[in-house]
Amino acid sequence: MDKLVSSWYKDQSLPESYIFPPHERPGKLLVPRCNTVPVIDLGDTRTNLVHQILKASQEFGLFQVVNHGVPPNIMSETMSVFHKFFELPAEDKASLTVHTNDPKRCKLVTSTLDYDREKIHLWRDVLRHPCHPDCIEFWPQKPLRYREVVAACSIEAKKLGLQILELLCEGVGIEHGYFEHELTEDLLLGANHYPPCPDPSLTLGIPKHFDPDILTILLQEHISGLQVLKDGEWIGVKPIPNAFVVNIGYILQVISNNKLKGAEHRVVTNSSDHRISVVFCMNPAGDSNIEPAKSVVTATNPPLCRGFQFKEFMDNFYSMDGDADLALQPFKL
């Protein structure tokens, strides 16, 4: 494992291996030009919500939710725990950076799990682990309240995700409860730390991608960085206090037979602030069958792909360097 960016970013100029090719670079447009990403008030009436969430998921594949019922102290304590975590001395994090294939264990890496093979590195460190209660024994023990706070937040994130999926089911005409069990069995946490970068115009925190999941629930602070691709243009997702960002995952796009749109997004860096984001990815169990829901398939809207196991898709996803469209290719009809 190479050294975390956070451990050396202050001491040197931007290494060559972090410079993206010109067409992928963010260039000078670091400040979002407008904020048209939908913000949905979950306190609205159900009829309005179904309509608004469906529209946002079809047009952007990404939206923010406010008035969602998750206690603000759980959100702020979670961010605070991750600030403390990333500030811990290296020796406190060393055991988490050890290479392991055990899916239950925590992994702290710089850039991606594929650091040694990738051509260009990402300007971030990331901590990942499953949120299932059986895995809590492997979670960090420092800072002191990590397990308590992150467990509380992950329960809230899953509840919120399921509530949004129910609204989406109603909107597209998928039966009630479709996502309740197997399809959202694995909740995975990813905590991203993007340190200040000497030249944000050349680097990326994460390049353009779809999340290979059902739904992603993201917690960010007041520092911008997340952008979504809409009609060929990058739009900044403006941080709103106490909001969650919700992303339609690529697998949900597949299940909805393209009625919902997965959001292509990326993260840009900045030269002055540390940025931390916490993502909760709602993932199917590895052996669950993914296919366009029967209720959305019709003679005029034939299934875009055959059924496959989620783990088959993920194997392709990794071997295709995180390209979801290529990963789906073998299953397309």
Chain residues that interact with ligand OGA, rule: CB under 6 A: 190, 192, 206, 211, 218, 220, 225-226, 265, 267, 277, 279
Q: Which does 220 bind (CB under 5 to 8 A by kind): Ni ion, ligand OGA, none?
A: ligand OGA
Phi-psi region of 321 (alpha: psi -120 to 50; beta: other; left: phi over 0): left
C-alpha dihedral over 87, 127, 219, 248, to 10 degrees?
Answer: 160
Instruction: Name which of 107 and 292 has its Cβ closer to ligand OGA.
Output: 107
Integer-rounded Cα radius of gyration of the chain? 19
Whole-number minimum distance, CB 211 to Ni ion, in Å? 4
Whole-number minimum distance, CB 161 to ligand OGA, in Å? 15
Instruction: Name which of 51 and 209 has its Cβ closer to ligand OGA.
Output: 209
Whole-number minimum distance, CB 229 to ligand OGA, in Å? 12
Instruction: Name which of 220 and 283 has its Cβ closer to ligand OGA.
Output: 220
Whole-number minimum distance, CB 307 to ligand OGA, in Å? 26
Instruction: Name which of 5 and 218 has its Cβ closer to ligand OGA.
Output: 218
Residue 131 in contact with residue 137, Cβ under 8 Å? no
The residue type at 239: P
Q: State yes or no: residue 156 binds Ni ion (CB under 5 A).
A: no
Cα gap 84→81, rounded to integer Å:
5
Site track for Ni ion across 197-236, x = CB under 5 A: --------------x-------------------------
Cα–Cα nearest to 314, from 165, 213, 214, 228:
213
Whole-number minimum distance, CB 247 to ligand OGA, in Å? 7
Q: Which does 143 bind (CB under 5 to 8 A by kind): ligand OGA, Ni ion, none?
A: none
The DSSP bridge pattern shows strands 39-41 and 186-194 to be unpaired
> Looking at beta carbons, which residue is closest to ligand OGA?
277
Cα gap 26→29, rounded to integer Å:
6
Whole-number minimum distance, CB 225 to ligand OGA, in Å? 6
Cα–Cα nearest to 33, from 230, 252, 171:
230
- Which structure tokens are listed for 118? 């990738």
Cα gap 267→123, rounded to integer Å:
9
Residue 244 in contact with residue 219, Cβ under 8 Å? yes
Instruction: Name which of 186 and 211 has its Cβ closer to Ni ion.
Output: 211
Instruction: Name which of 160 and 237 has its Cβ closer to ligand OGA.
Output: 237
Positions that interact with Ni ion (CB under 5 A): 211
